[in-house]
Amino acid sequence: MGPLQGFKIIEVAGIGPTQFCGMLLADMGASVIRITRPGGNDTGVGLSGKFNLMNRSRPSIPLDLKTASGVGTLLKLCDTADALFEGFRPGVMERLGLGPDECRQRNRRLVYGRMTGWGQDGPLADTAGHDANYAALTGALAAIGEKDAGPTIPLNLVADFGGGGAYLAMGILAALLEASRSGEGQVIDAAMVDGAASLMTLFYGLHAAGIWRDERGSNFLDGAAPFYRAYRTSDNKFVVICAIEPHFFAELLETLGITDISPRDQYNRSAWQAQIEIFAAVFAGSTRDAWCETFSGKDACFAPVLSLSEAPSHEHNKARNTFIDVDGVVQPGPAPRFSRTPSAVRCGPDESPGACRDVLSEWGLTADEIFEIDAGRAYGSE
């Protein structure tokens, strides 16, 4: 079901942020179809079949956009679509004859989303890049890591998924909402560098106020503070403490039985290193699981640091079904949650183009056309 049931969205397949955006929209019930290259591998990281999790909840159909018939077929799909999004470099879709002008000439209500690293214009617009490149240009990458070491690469969460795919999805939804009132679609320029910069808004405010030092590992949210930091336990695992507020810090001290740290010194930077050494010695005295028992029911902002293999088995994640099993593959479930129109994984990320046949039927494809797609014939070919 999902809150986006009834909306039809075309995803011109790409990797990373556009995949993530398509997953979010499809999990929320939109009828999304992924347009892939015939015989191509668009995963970028060697994933295939049921393990390419961000391709779930929607079918993929091969369509050769370098042919007139392929272009014509995609334009025909635009006639009844609510939105289309793509992740090519600026100008690629225009050269194919599938730019915003051509697509929206067929359907004025069409929302056209564009996902790039650097944006549709600017000196770097045509330059190749990946997540850390975009994060680097915003100040985000420089702010993450230990004080006396280089920047830490935060997976590809900051620009690809946070500043990229999630912002593109938000932009598409906002434009669809506006189009429902105005009757006119519009073009969304979703640049990962813009999104990553937006995610840094708090820190630019703190820096302007003189609260945030412009150096890694020196601030209360970057691991420098003893109350916002991960600590090693006796079994060589880790726990993390995030006791930012004074009353949480006081409970942390009480729970640990620490009396030689004054709660009044929580934000005394000159005392931080000595406090870190005290906390580190205490946490090193017991196992991670023992600390979980000690902090059970306490408001000290404590959590165990779990691995990918451990997280799905945690009691809280199990109680909320945060992780689900699809085709034998454990994976995060849809988010966020809706009380009346719950999201769901519509189908696994099957490589078969005819997967999620109900979605293809919603787009008006006949049983014979779906059979041809399953047989490996490019949709819309002559």
Known catalytic residues are: 130, 160
Note whether 239 and 248 are within 8 A (CB). Answer: no
| Residue 282 per-residue DSSP state | H
Beta bridge partners of 52: none
CA atoms within a 13 Å half-sphere pointing along the CA-CB vector of 108: 3
Lookup result for tokens 């945690």 = 314
| Residue 216 per-residue DSSP state | T
Q: What is the CA radius of gyration of the chain?
A: 24
Number of CB atoms found within 10 A of residue 162's CB: 22
| Residue 261 per-residue DSSP state | S
Note whether 360 and 61 are within 8 A (CB). Answer: yes
CA atoms within a 13 Å half-sphere pointing along the CA-CB vector of 347: 20
Both tokens of 379, joined, read 């949709």
Residue 1 carries which side chain, given as an amino acid letter? M
Phi-psi region of 361 (alpha: psi -120 to 50; beta: other; left: phi over 0): alpha
Question: Who contacts 350 (Cβ-Cβ below 8 Å, separation ≥6)?
Answer: 49, 50, 327
CA atoms within a 13 Å half-sphere pointing along the CA-CB vector of 318: 5
Distances (CA, A) of 153 to 116, 143, 242, 381: 20, 11, 21, 43
